[in-house]
């Protein structure tokens, strides 16, 4: 069976979009096997990660239908059916639209609205990306933290964390790592402790 170049390009685009969706705003595209391995190792498992990815894709799709700038300004991370909305909205109306559209996704259990109103700029975006990268690195190399159970987003110096902690002590270690990073103003946790 021969696959057309258009179908191959579409398949590649969908794969990249799915891979990026699992990695967050500052993530790196990884192979499907590695992504499945990480999902299997996390507490939510492959099925849970797939459900979350489907919800995330539905939210981002509804954002694109409403306004092409919505998914550019608003980040979406879904963990256990809980959608963490972050980013910077140009107006209160944009923030309200983002929340309202997120609630329309099938399987959504909770919306964590952490969308800020306009401010920041390119300098803050660079600092935020640096903060998130530093935190991911520190948490990954800490043997007392199950890093695959956490997702991080940083907006204007505020670090948002969602996921599952094995214990309160583990969560405290994650938060301590976040607070030790330069330019972090605040840490907000939406982590569930097992």
Using CA atoms, how far residue 35 sits from 14, 38, 40, 50, in Å, is 15, 5, 9, 11
In the chain, CATH 3.30.1340 sits at 122-193
DSSP class per residue in 120-135: --HHHHHHHHHHHHHH
pLDDT single digits (tens) 101-129: 999 999 999 999 999 987 666 667 889 99
**Which of 73, 32, 65, 69 has its CA nearest to residue 49?**
32
Please say if the pLDDT value at position 20 is more than 80.
no
pTM: 0.70
- DSSP label at residue 110: E
Q: Of residues 95 and 20, which shows the higher confidence score?
A: 95
Domain 5-117 CATH class label: alpha beta
In the chain, CATH 3.30.300 sits at 5-117
The CATH number given to 122-193 is 3.30.1340
What per-residue confidence (pLDDT) applies to 31? 41
Average pLDDT on 121-138 reads 88
């Amino acid at each position: 069976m021969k696959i057309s170049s258009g179908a191959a390009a579409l398949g590649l685009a969908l794969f990249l979009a799915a891979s990026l969706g699992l990695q967050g705003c500052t993530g790196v595209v990884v192979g499907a096997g590695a992504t499945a391995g990480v999902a299997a190792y996390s507490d939510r498992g492959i099925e849970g990660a797939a459900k979350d990815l489907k919800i995330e894709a539905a939210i981002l799709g509804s954002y694109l239908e409403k306004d092409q700038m919505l998914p550019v300004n608003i980040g979406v991370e879904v963990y256990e059916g809980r959608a963490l909305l972050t980013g910077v909205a140009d107006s209160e109306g944009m923030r309200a639209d983002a929340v309202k559209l997120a609630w329309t996704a099938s399987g959504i259990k909770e919306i964590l609205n952490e969308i800020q109103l306009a401010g920041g700029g390119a300098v803050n975006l660079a600092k935020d990306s640096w903060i998130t990268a530093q935190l991911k690195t520190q948490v990954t190399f800490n043997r007392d933290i199950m890093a695959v159970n956490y997702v991080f987003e940083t907006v204007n110096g505020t670090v948002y964390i969602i996921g599952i902690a094995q214990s309160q002590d583990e969560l405290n270690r994650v938060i301590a790592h976040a607070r030790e990073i330069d330019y972090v103003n605040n840490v907000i946790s939406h982590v569930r402790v097992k």
